[in-house]
Structure 1
Amino acid sequence: MPEMPEVQGLSTFLAERAVGRTITRATVAAISALKTYDPPIHALQGAEITGAARLGKFVVLSCGAELHLVFHLAKAGWLRWFNALPTTLIKPGKSPIALRIALDDGSGFDLTEAGTKKSLAVYVVRDPQEVPGIARLGPDPLEPGFTRDVFAGLLEGRRMQIKGLLRDQGVIAGIGNAYSDEILHAAKMSPYTIAGALGADDIDRLYQAMRTTLTDAVAAASGKPPADLKDAKRAGFQVHARRGEACPVCGDTVRSVFFADRSLEYCPTCQTGGKPLADRRLSRLLK
């Protein structure tokens, strides 16, 4: 799933390539992806793109103050950019394309989604806050106002595991499965640690790991076209998606815990005192 760094990379790319261009055509190829009807999708036709921004894992393309194209790529979605947009007709249900946006200079992009589980979401709204997922976002961890004390306040009294808290978009915006693994590895912390039980030193370490990990990943994504962002993301991972490989810090074998629709990766030596985690969602350390 694209997370904050990749979505930031996409929004920066669109700010450079699409802002100032006029939308000549917006074609919905997967009607299930379009989550709004007012304003209608054809309201985008003839609108000039005036801004591109990221909110959590959402990309917002603004066409003036009162018309916005918002999309969330979900688990298997992506943006494919074309300097010269293909002229072939899109056949609904016959391709991975969910939405095609054509621009006045002949360029444009497709939003695509692989697999059979379709979760990619597109919205045309007058205000981005009309999108339910944006309205409930927590603070962005790279905003200047997101201080260590603000972070500590979000943890206070929470009885949930720290891995789940980092992924909760209503608590902190933009972090998903991959970067929560990377942050916890950098902080030398078990994903099963209870958030509200963290001491001051633990909070300091986790906050610094979060800021550094995300800042470095955003920098790695900066300036890259969409086609290169996925490889840049994978190249920076220390543990996520590296099950069976050697931890680059200590040399121990990276392990996984599998759930119904995802897995987490961690290093036992760095994060759990050398003990492997049981491969069940609610388990504690194996005894």
Structure 2
Amino acid sequence: MPELPEVEALREFLGAHLVGRQITRVMPVAISVLKTYDPPLGAVEGKTVTAVDRHGKWLDITAGGLHLVTHLSRAGWLQWKDELPAAPPRPGKGPLALRTVLADGSGFDLTEVGTTKRLAVHLVHDPAEVPGVARLGPDPLAEDFDRAAFAAVLAGERRQIKGALRDQSLIAGIGNAYSDEILHAAKMSPFKPVQNLGEAETDVLYEALRSTLGDAVERSRGLAAGRLKSEKKSGLRVHGRTGEACPVCGDTIREVSYSDSSLQYCPTCQTGGKPLADRRLSRLLK
């Protein structure tokens, strides 16, 4: 799933390629992709793009006072094309979900692989009309998201830190991959209860959060949209690397599986050398 660093890089890429240019067609191909119907997609056609913003993992393209707001979900992606086919796309079983064409024939496709279709596109007057945007917590890379703001967000939480970091209503933009990376950098168990964090541990976690996300954004900056997936994978130190050696201590990276996802961690760096066999059976580690 694209998370904050990749969506931020897409925002910068699209800002350079879309702002000041006119949208001529927006064509939904998959019925499931469009989540709003008023105003209709045609209302943005003929309008010039004036801004591209990001809200957590959401992309927001502004044209003619309207906002085309997109969430790529787990299996979605944006593919930029310098020249799109002249013929309109046909609805079918392929990955293409929506096509946006500019006046010069360039544009982008939104695609989604797999049978579970969660990619979402909204056309609204205000991004806050999108429920997923309205409920977002603060952006962790915002200038005003300092250590005090981080502590305030966590205050009163009584759950494991892994789940808290992924909660979009607490902190916007962090998903499964970067929560693993942040916790590895902080040398902290994913199962540690938030309420057990001391002042020094909160400091460490905050610094790990800012540095991990900031470094990932810098690695992705300036890359074309098509290269962002491989850049994300190459920069991950523990997530998706089950069975490999930890780059810090050399221990074997282990995994805890869930019904539809998994987390990765280093026992030596994060859990005092104790492997977490299963989320339901493992004890919460301090």
TM-score by length of 1: 0.97
User: Residues 220-244 of structure 1: CA distance to partner in whole angstroms, max 9, x if unpaired?
Assistant: 1110011100111011111000000
Contact 1:53 1:61 in 2 (8 A): yes
Query: 1:279: which partner in 2?
Result: 278
Q: What pairs up with 1:94-173 in 2 under 5 angstroms?
A: 94-173=93-172
Contact 2:193 2:284 in 1 (8 A): no
Query: 2:13: which partner in 1?
Result: 13
Distance in 1 separating the partners of 2:222 and 2:85 = 24
Structure-2 change in CA distance of 1:186 and 1:30 (3 Å): same
Query: 2:223: which partner in 1?
Result: 224
Determine what percentage of the aligned residue pairs are the same residue: 61
Which consecutive residues of structure 1, in runs of 5 or more, have no partner in the other structure?
none
Contact 1:184 1:190 in 2 (8 A): yes
Query: 1:207: which partner in 2?
Result: 206
Shift of 1:89: 3.5
Contact 1:278 1:284 in 2 (8 A): no
Aligned CA RMSD, in angstroms, stands at 1.1
TM-score by length of 2: 0.97
Secondary structure of the corresponding residue to residue 68 of structure 1? strand
Distance in 2 separating the partners of 1:94 and 1:150 = 45
Distance in 1 separating the partners of 2:130 and 2:281 = 32
Which consecutive residues of structure 2, in runs of 5 or more, have no partner in the other structure?
none
Distance in 2 separating the partners of 1:102 and 1:282 = 52
Distance in 2 separating the partners of 1:162 and 1:4 = 18
Contact 2:53 2:59 in 1 (8 A): yes
Shift of 1:282: 6.2
User: Residues 220-272 of structure 1: CA distance to partner in whole angstroms, max 9, x if unpaired?
Assistant: 11100111001110111110000000000000000000001100000000000
Q: Quick check: 1:61 aligned with 2:51? A: no
Query: 1:32: which partner in 2?
Result: 32
User: Residues 29-87 of structure 1: CA distance to partner in whole angstroms, max 9, x if unpaired?
Assistant: 011110001110111110111100111000000014x3010100000000010001122
Distance in 1 separating the partners of 2:101 and 2:190 = 43
Structure 1 runs of 4+ aligned residues shifted over 3 Å read: none
Contact 1:102 1:109 in 2 (8 A): yes
Q: What pairs up with 1:63-102 in 2 under 5 angstroms?
A: 63-64=63-64, 66-102=65-101
Q: Give the counterpart letter for 2:216 in structure 1.
A: A
Structure-2 change in CA distance of 1:33 and 1:284 (3 Å): same
Shift of 1:88: 4.0
Secondary structure of the corresponding residue to residue 81 of structure 1? strand
Shift of 1:94: 2.9
